[in-house]
Amino acid sequence: MICTNNKEIYEICRMLRGHGLAREVSNKKLEKKIIKMHPKVSPKFIFLYPGFNMRNNEINAIIGLNQQPKLNEKIKKRSQNLIFFLSNIDKKKYFTDFEIKGNSNYAFPIILKTTSFKKRDKFEKSLKILNIEFRRGNAGGGNQLRQPYLKEYLHRINIKQFKNVEHVHNFGYYIGNFPSLSKKSIVKICSALNKIIL
């Protein structure tokens, strides 16, 4: 627990407890300013500091302990969902050749094969119209080499050398995969994704 009357320290501490993410600040003007300063990073995944995940509490711990007996069943269902999802999306438009052995993915990975930013923007607009919630950059905001918290350590790194990571950063997404998601819903999601012209 930290007690302070310094607004700057307060906002930094809020970010540090939540992975160092800028979205954790309470001052929305400050958040907008940070987003403006880092236009090439997904707005919801700007890591200003190398932080921690310290947002848990007793109630969350109780919920977690009660979920434990169902863990194996939920892992199995997520894995089945992922296989079903990958077998139903258009392999011409999206990458599907992932190593999934031992994987219990909390999300469905969507990586566009196109390198057109215009088509990418159209893809995002289509998802919003379809009410399909998504995050760009795949897990954790994409290419970590672009994140502000690493800038002082990575002066000599050429981002262009990391083609695959950059592609995922710019054209990779994920949407939620949860155990209660029905096959019917997955088919509906895949059908919507397959209809988007890329």
Q: What is the rounded average pLDDT of the residues 7-11?
A: 96
Q: Region of 23 please: left (phi>0), alpha (psi -120 to 50) or beta.
A: alpha
Tokens encoding 188? 């509906």
Whole-number percent of the chain with pLDDT over 70 = 99
Asked whether the beta carbons of 118 and 18 are under 8 A apart, the reply is no
pLDDT digits (tens, 9 = 90+) for 164-190: 999 999 999 999 999 999 999 999 999
Whether 65 is in a domain gets the answer: no
Whole-number percent of the chain with pLDDT over 90 = 73
pLDDT digits (tens, 9 = 90+) for 102-144: 887 889 999 999 999 999 999 999 999 999 999 998 867 788 8
Q: Is the dihedral of CA 179, 95, 136, 13 positive or negative?
A: positive
| 66, pLDDT greater than 90 | yes
Are 40 and 75 found together in one domain? no
pTM for the whole structure: 0.76
Among 31, 55, 79, which residue terminates a domain?
55
Are 86 and 178 found together in one domain? yes
Q: How far apart are CA 22 and CA 103, in angstroms?
A: 29
Q: How far apart are CA 125 and CA 167, in angstroms?
A: 19
- CATH number of the domain that 175 lies in? 3.90.1150.10
Measured at the alpha carbon of residue 50, what is the angle toward residues 40 and 71, in degrees to the nearest 5? Answer: 100
User: How close are the terminal C-alpha atoms of the chain, in Å?
Assistant: 49
pLDDT digits (tens, 9 = 90+) for 78-113: 999 999 999 999 999 999 999 888 887 889 999 999
Helix axes 183-195, 71-88, angle to 10 degrees: 30
pLDDT digits (tens, 9 = 90+) for 28-41: 999 999 999 999 99
Whether 64 is in a domain gets the answer: no
The number of distinct structural domains making up the chain is 2
Q: How far apart are CA 175 and CA 55, in angstroms?
A: 23
Question: Which residues constitute the domain of residue 5?
Answer: 1-55
Tokens encoding 158? 């050429």
Instruction: Give the H/E segment covering residue 175.
Output: strand 172-176
Whether 61 is in a domain gets the answer: no
Whether 62 is in a domain gets the answer: no
